[in-house]
Amino acid sequence: MRVVVGMSGGVDSAVSALLLKEQGYDVVGVFMKNWEEQDENGVCTAESDWRDVQDVCELIGIPYYSVNFAKEYRDRVFSLFLSEYQKGRTPNPDVLCNREIKFKAFLDFAMQLGAEKMATGHFVQTDEDGHLLRGVDGNKDQSYFLYMIHRQQLMKSIFPVGGKTKQEVRALAEKYNLPVCKKKDSTGVCFIGERDFKAFLQGFLPAQPGPMVTPEGEVVGKHDGLMYYTLGQRRGLGIGGRGDGRSFFVVDKDLKKNHLIVAQGEDHPLLYSRAAMADQATLVCDPLPENTPVHLTAKFRYRQPDQGCTVTRVGENLHFVFDEPQRAVTPGQSAVIYDGDICLGGGIIDSVER
């Protein structure tokens, strides 16, 4: 069976290709170039990642290709990313990248190469029915980012490292002396990396500075543009302690007035909500009955422990009522629902109810 592996230049996808080769598959490595901009030093980081992919593929003895999806990425992912920021929301581009690029454009490309399956280095698992399951390593589980992927796509996918811990993956890379065995995991937003996020956004969206205002209406500072801030944020506000000296946190945004609402105290009531509505509902496999409350668990940001909640599907929306008040549930982020280890799907947080 031919399997095309999406290789990023990192250790997880390298070990995925290695494991499949060891298992006797006809493996082909493909590097996806999704972003063409240079970093602040004038270096295109994709070039070094591509060299790492070549070195790994030559060592384990598999053919390799590079495919450029930069146009598709800009049209299907980055344009929506900017649009969400213009609306004052905080989007998650990795979720869209998986849906539009890795499990659509890349999957189609893999099939054109004669593959029966595609593989990635995601820390997730699937079962014979096409359910999306958490990865074995709870610290690395990436099901949160794959909730928009449907059963039909998952049935064509293999996740070789999903049943392993990150430590085990590193150990395999070192055992086989893969060139990327000591390479650090990538951090930050995929196309921004470790660059300054505010400086990056300024290159694409005009900033609209305005006042920082308390819930009582007192102006306590000036913001650089609502798009640069997210709910629950404390760092970077530039406001000294007042009164009892407690730190200020972002608790809301008033887009009409261009006000950033800030309040003192990490447990301020405005930071908490009792319910939320998510739109663009996506279900991986099994439909939720409409207008019928179901008690499940959910994550409202990556790495958050599961939170108990009652979920009701209302057309293309999901309504969440939390078992316990939730802190800094942020419009634009994903609300992802689980039934035990099965990731059922989710939606994009649109509004919260306090």
What is the pairing mode between strands 259-264 and 210-213?
A: parallel
Catalytic residue among 57, 97, 181, 309: 97
Q: What is the mean pLDDT of residues 255-264?
A: 96
Confidence at 185, pLDDT banded by 50, 70, 90 = confident
- State how far the Cα of 176 lies from the Cα of 183, in Å rounded to an integer: 14
DSSP string, 261-284: EEEESTT-GGGEEEEEEEEEEEES
Confidence at 339, pLDDT banded by 50, 70, 90 = very high
Catalytic residue among 44, 181, 190, 285: 190
Question: Roughly how many angstroms between the first and final C-alpha of the chain, as a whole number?
Answer: 53
DSSP string, 286-298: SPPPBT--EEEEE
Residue that wins the pLDDT comparison between 33 and 319? 319
Our answer to whether residue 190 is catalytic in this structure is yes
* All domains of the chain in start order, with CATH: 2-175 (3.40.50.620), 207-266 (2.30.30.280), 273-353 (2.40.30.10)
Q: What is the mean pLDDT of residues 127-139?
A: 96
**How much is the pLDDT for 44?**
54
Looking at the predicted structure, is the pLDDT value of residue 154 above 80?
Answer: yes
Burial classification of residue 140, based on how many CB atoms lie within 10 Å of its CB (0-12 exposed, 13-18 middle, 19 or more buried): buried
- State how far the Cα of 347 lies from the Cα of 320, in Å rounded to an integer: 11
Q: What is the mean pLDDT of residues 51-77?
A: 95
Looking at the predicted structure, is the pLDDT value of residue 135 above 90?
Answer: yes
- State how far the Cα of 171 lies from the Cα of 56, in Å rounded to an integer: 16
Give the other-Cβ count within 10 Å of 288's Cβ. Answer: 18
pTM here is 0.92
**How much is the pLDDT for 229?**
94
Looking at the predicted structure, is the pLDDT value of residue 73 above 70?
Answer: yes
What does each C-alpha distance from 105 to 34, 68, 72, 109 come to in angstroms? 11, 10, 8, 6
**How much is the pLDDT for 99?**
96
Structure letter (DSSP) for residue 155: T
- State how far the Cα of 250 lies from the Cα of 306, in Å rounded to an integer: 24
Q: Which of 98, 72, 136, 73 lies closest to 6 in space, CA to CA?
A: 98
Range 253-256 contact pairs with CB under 8 angstroms and sequence separation of 24 or more: 253/88, 253/226, 253/229, 254/213, 255/87, 255/88, 255/226
> Which residues are CB-neighbours of 331 under 8 A, at least 6 positions away?
88, 89, 90, 231, 349, 350, 351, 352
Structure letter (DSSP) for residue 167: H
**How much is the pLDDT for 43?**
45
Query: Tens digit of pLDDT for each residue in 260-319?
Result: 999 999 999 999 999 999 999 999 998 899 999 999 999 999 999 999 999 999 999 999
Q: Which residues pair with 260 in a beta bridge?
A: 212, 253
Looking at the predicted structure, is the pLDDT value of residue 42 above 50?
Answer: no
List the alpha helices (DSSP H) in the chain.
11-22, 45-60, 70-73, 79-86, 93-97, 106-112, 151-154, 166-175, 197-202
Confidence at 186, pLDDT banded by 50, 70, 90 = confident
Average pLDDT, the chain: 92
Query: Tens digit of pLDDT for each residue in 189-246?
Result: 666 656 677 888 888 888 899 999 999 999 999 999 999 999 999 999 988 767 677 8
- State how far the Cα of 204 lies from the Cα of 228, in Å rounded to an integer: 13
**How much is the pLDDT for 200?**
82
